[in-house]
C-alpha cells in the first residue's frame, strides 16, 4: 500500500534458524512441553511465550538452541515460537504482521533499549512500529499476541494495517472480528466496516487451492 512506509511493509515474517544438531531439536521439544502445559492449565493463546521468553532486542539470525541459554526475543521470535507450538498442538495458525501507531514516550523507550544493544531499530518508522502476532482459526480467526496477553479485536485505534500470512495459498479471505481480511496482502484498518451477510458467507467457504 502506497500510504504505508516501505521500510515496515518490506519486513518479512521472522524465522528462527536451526542447527543440524540435537541442540535445536531439544529446544523445540522444551517449547512444545511449555505450550502443552499451558493448554492443560486451560489457558488459551500463546501468552505463556512472554513469560518464558522475555521481550527484548536480539541479533538475527536467531537459533532455537539459544532460546534455552538466553531466553530473550523480540516480537518476531515470540510470534515464531507461538506459531510453531500452536501448529504442533494441532491448531490452525498463521503469522500476522502489524503496523501500529504508538505513543512517543513508548517509542523513545524502545529506541533507547535497542540503541544500547547490537540490534537495529528498523522496525520503527516515525510514529509507527512493526509488530508480529499469530492468527488462530481457519476461516474465522482470532489474532493473539505472544508478547503480552492481548487478543487484538480489530477496533483498537493503534492498528494502522496488517497482513495475515499464509504461505500455503496465494489468496483467500478470513473473517476477523467482523472485518474481511485478504490473506497475504497488507490491508489498512483505518476504516472498520461490518461485513454484509453475503461477505460473511464468502468468508466461511473453505479454501480450494488457495482460492475461495
What CA–CA distance (Å, rounded) separates 165 from 93? 10
Q: Check pLDDT > 80 for residue 162.
A: yes
Q: What are phi and psi of 52, to 5 degrees?
A: -95, -35
What is the average per-residue pLDDT within 25-50? 87
Q: What is the predicted pLDDT for the residue at 44?
A: 64
**Of the candidates 32, 144, 26, 18, which has an alpha carbon nearest to the alpha carbon of residue 79?**
144
Chain centroid offset of residue 63 CA: 18
Give 92-145 pLDDT, tens digit per residue. 999 999 999 999 999 999 999 999 898 888 999 999 999 999 999 999 999 999
pLDDT band at 155 (very low <50, low <70, confident <90, very high): low
Long-range contacts at 162-167 (CB < 8 A, ≥ 24 apart): 162/96, 162/97, 162/98, 162/99, 162/186, 162/187, 162/189, 163/9, 163/96, 163/97, 163/187, 164/94, 164/95, 164/96, 164/135, 165/13, 165/94, 165/95, 165/96, 165/97, 166/94
Please list, in sequence order, all residues whose beta carbon lies within 8 angstroms of the beta carbon of residue 7, skipping any fewer than 6 positions away: 122, 125
Q: Check pLDDT > 70 for residue 31.
A: yes
What is the average per-residue pLDDT within 61-89? 95
**Are 146 and 82 within 8 A, CB to CB?**
yes
Between 150 and 83, the higher pLDDT residue: 83
pLDDT band at 153 (very low <50, low <70, confident <90, very high): confident
Q: What is the predicted pLDDT for the residue at 42?
A: 60
Please list, in sequence order, all residues whose beta carbon lies within 8 angstroms of the beta carbon of residue 50, skipping any fewer than 6 positions away: 78, 146, 147, 148, 149
Q: What is the predicted pLDDT for the residue at 190?
A: 65
DSSP characters for 45-69? SSTHHHHHSEE----SS-BTTHHHH
pTM confidence score: 0.86
Q: What is the predicted pLDDT for the residue at 206?
A: 44
Q: What is the predicted pLDDT for the residue at 73?
A: 96
What CA–CA distance (Å, rounded) separates 205 from 212? 6
Between 204 and 109, the higher pLDDT residue: 109
201: left (phi over 0), alpha (psi -120 to 50) or beta: alpha
**Are 145 and 151 within 8 A, CB to CB?**
yes
Three-class SS of residue 83?
helix
Amino acid at each position: 500500500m502506497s500510504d504505508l512506509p516501505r521500510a515496515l511493509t518490506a519486513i518479512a515474517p521472522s524465522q528462527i534458524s536451526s542447527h543440524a544438531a540435537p541442540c535445536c531439536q531439544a529446544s523445540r521439544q522444551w517449547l512444545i512441553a511449555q505450550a502443552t502445559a499451558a493448554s492443560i492449565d486451560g489457558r488459551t493463546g500463546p501468552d505463556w511465550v512472554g513469560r518464558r521468553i522475555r521481550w527484548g532486542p536480539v541479533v538475527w539470525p536467531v537459533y532455537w538452541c539459544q532460546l534455552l541459554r538466553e531466553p530473550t526475543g523480540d516480537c518476531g521470535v515470540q510470534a515464531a515460537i507461538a506459531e510453531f507450538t500452536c501448529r504442533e498442538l494441532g491448531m490452525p495458525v498463521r503469522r500476522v504482521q502489524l503496523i501500529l501507531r504508538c505513543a512517543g514516550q513508548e517509542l523513545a523507550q524502545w529506541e533507547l533499549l535497542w540503541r544500547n544493544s547490537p540490534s537495529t531499530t528498523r522496525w520503527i518508522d516515525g510514529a509507527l512500529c512493526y509488530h508480529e502476532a499469530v492468527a488462530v482459526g481457519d476461516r474465522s480467526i482470532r489474532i493473539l499476541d505472544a508478547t503480552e496477553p492481548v487478543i487484538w479485536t480489530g477496533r483498537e485505534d493503534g492498528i494502522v494495517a496488517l497482513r495475515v500470512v499464509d504461505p500455503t495459498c496465494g489468496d483467500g479471505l478470513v473473517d476477523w472480528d467482523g472485518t474481511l481480511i485478504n490473506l497475504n496482502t497488507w490491508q489498512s484498518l483505518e476504516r472498520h466496516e461490518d461485513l454484509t451477510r453475503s461477505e460473511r458467507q464468502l468468508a466461511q467457504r473453505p479454501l480450494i487451492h488457495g482460492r475461495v
